[in-house]
Amino acid sequence: MTPTLLVIPSIDIHDGKTVRTVRGIPELDCKGYGDDPVEMARIWRAENAKLLHIVDYDGSRDPSRKNLRVVREIVEAVIIPVVYSGGVRNFEDARALIDAGVYRLALGTMTVKASAEFERTLDEFGPRKICAALDVEGDKIVVGGRTERTDIDAIDHARRLAEAGVERFVVTDVERNGSLEGPNCDLAKRVADASGKRVTLSGGARNKDELMDVQRLAEFGVDSLIVGRALYENRFPCQKLWRVAEAGVFA
């Protein structure tokens, strides 16, 4: 039997409000949904979402973690797991978010600029709590809130992190993020093949046919898809998107 694809709504937060992002830039409000991320979390849960993904666009620029209160409120408002990414610089940042109730952290910049802190964090909390976020532009890793392109090859980086103990990758094609140009299925498959680990694909999905395209990658380890703009713009009926996530599916 083909594994079931898990569809994950994204809630992008900037200055405590829900925003829509295009190619990694938080520039557009979510028209028709208001700007309250806690209420947005309740809406997606009411639509039967099994998991939420939060992106904190202030985290990489502001060490004060000014959105931590909002994150805590989201966690308390829903009974489903919440995954967080955005500006986690060190072990103490990670501890604060996990203490706030976040189910899992997707860490990107730390894997490049603070690899020792990343390894410490992974060792302390384990691969169920810590995964690696690969923000990719032209096959190169992008860090610093998707503002700084490195010379690091994304596939090579995935291999190294898998060897270090990472069990899941969140893969985002930055150029397609929020662009409604279709998900980069090839990139997700290459990361899954190279690492031998599970992959969550993010960015570009625009219709149900593309959900099926990602579904066909399940046998290779791509088992989930983060969807943002297409959901906010009602490009497909929400109730038909969610898949039944049995206990242990999203490991």
Contact 146, 24 (CB under 8 A): yes
What tokens appear for 27 in the block? Answer: 């520039």
- Strand-strand pairing, 25-29 and 17-22: antiparallel
Contact 144, 104 (CB under 8 A): no
Residues designated catalytic: 12, 135
Q: How far is Cα 229 from Cα 106, in angstroms, rounded to an integer?
A: 20
CA atoms within 13 Å, Cβ hemisphere of 57: 22
Dihedral over Cα of 126, 42, 178, 51: its sign: positive
Distances (CA, A) of 3 to 6, 49, 68, 128, 215: 9, 18, 34, 19, 8
Q: Which of 80, 92, 16, 87 is nearest to 53 (CA)?
A: 80
> How many CB atoms are located within 10 Å of the residue 4 CB?
15
Q: Which of 226, 195, 194, 196 is nearest to 211 (CA)?
A: 226
- What is the chain's length? 251
What tokens appear for 200 in the block? Answer: 């969550």
